[in-house]
Chains A and B, each alone.
Chain A
């Protein structure tokens, strides 16, 4: 069955370190998204991609980067982790269709000390 996975599921890191969160989908979806979820803020869009080599900034992109070298993967990199980036991170993917349904991964809980 097609799925979307994230790794690691939990990560603890220190301020200033570079961290990369992986997202892999086997739906063959063109669209992929990264969100962070914090209490009281719902899901906030960090970066998104509509296809290979395409990346776009979302609402809260400062301090984050992504690259899309193939259809299946959209890794999220925190260049220099900050305590304000402690959050739960969700990756999602969708088809380019009228339903706009996004399929979410299980999430990564990141703690920056």
Chain B
């Protein structure tokens, strides 16, 4: 089977740093993506890691360890607008992508 595990909810304070973890078990693995989705909106792409290590894009960073089947999304200098759901997703073969159930991030003032 194929499964991705991520926490269902995370709460953090404005200005803080938060890490959302994702562990995966899939029949194929080409890379790990992260998407953001605000309520009522469509998912939007944040990052993609094909190789081990840290990728940084502004306030967001994403990490991958293929040997541990593990990755995380790091959000720094949290802002209220970062309140949203965050999905990890595995590129499992070709361009087929399997999504996790999502982590709802609440940012408090």
Residues of A whose CB lies within 8 Å of any CB of B are 31, 33, 35, 40-45, 48, 50, 56, 58-59, 90, 92, 94, 96, 98-107
Known A101-B45, A101-B48; contact A42-B99, beta-carbon cutoff 8 A: yes
Known A100-B31, A100-B91; contact A45-B45, beta-carbon cutoff 8 A: no
Known A42-B87, A98-B50; contact A104-B95, beta-carbon cutoff 8 A: no
> Total interface residues on B, using CB and 8 Å?
23
Residues of B whose CB lies within 8 Å of any CB of A are 2, 30-31, 33, 41-45, 48, 50, 87, 89, 91, 94-102
Beta-carbon contact of A96 and B95 below 8 Å: yes
Known A42-B100, A100-B31, A101-B48; contact A50-B95, beta-carbon cutoff 8 A: yes
One of A43, A98, A100 near B43 (C-beta < 8 A): A43
Interface core residue of B43, B100, B102 (most chain A CB under 10 Å) = B43
For residue B2, which residues in chain A have a CB less than 8 angstroms away from its CB?
59
Beta-carbon contact of A107 and B95 below 8 Å: no
For residue A44, which residues in chain B have a CB less than 8 angstroms away from its CB?
99
Beta-carbon contact of A90 and B42 below 8 Å: yes
20 examples of A-B residue contacts, CB within 8 angstroms:
A31-B95, A40-B101, A41-B101, A42-B102, A43-B43, A48-B95, A50-B95, A56-B96, A58-B96, A59-B98, A90-B42, A94-B95, A96-B95, A100-B48, A100-B50, A100-B91, A100-B95, A102-B45, A106-B41, A106-B42
For residue B42, which residues in chain A have a CB less than 8 angstroms away from its CB?
90, 104-107
Interface core residue of B31, B91, B96, B97 (most chain A CB under 10 Å) = B97
Tell me the minimal C-beta distance from B10 to chain A in angstroms. 15
Tell me the minimal C-beta distance from A77 to chain B in angstroms. 20
For residue B30, which residues in chain A have a CB less than 8 angstroms away from its CB?
100
Known A41-B101, A104-B43; contact A48-B96, beta-carbon cutoff 8 A: yes
* Bound-complex Cα distance A99 to B43 (A): 16
Beta-carbon contact of A42 and B101 below 8 Å: yes
* Bound-complex Cα distance A28 to B98 (A): 23
Beta-carbon contact of B87 and A43 below 8 Å: yes
For residue B41, which residues in chain A have a CB less than 8 angstroms away from its CB?
106
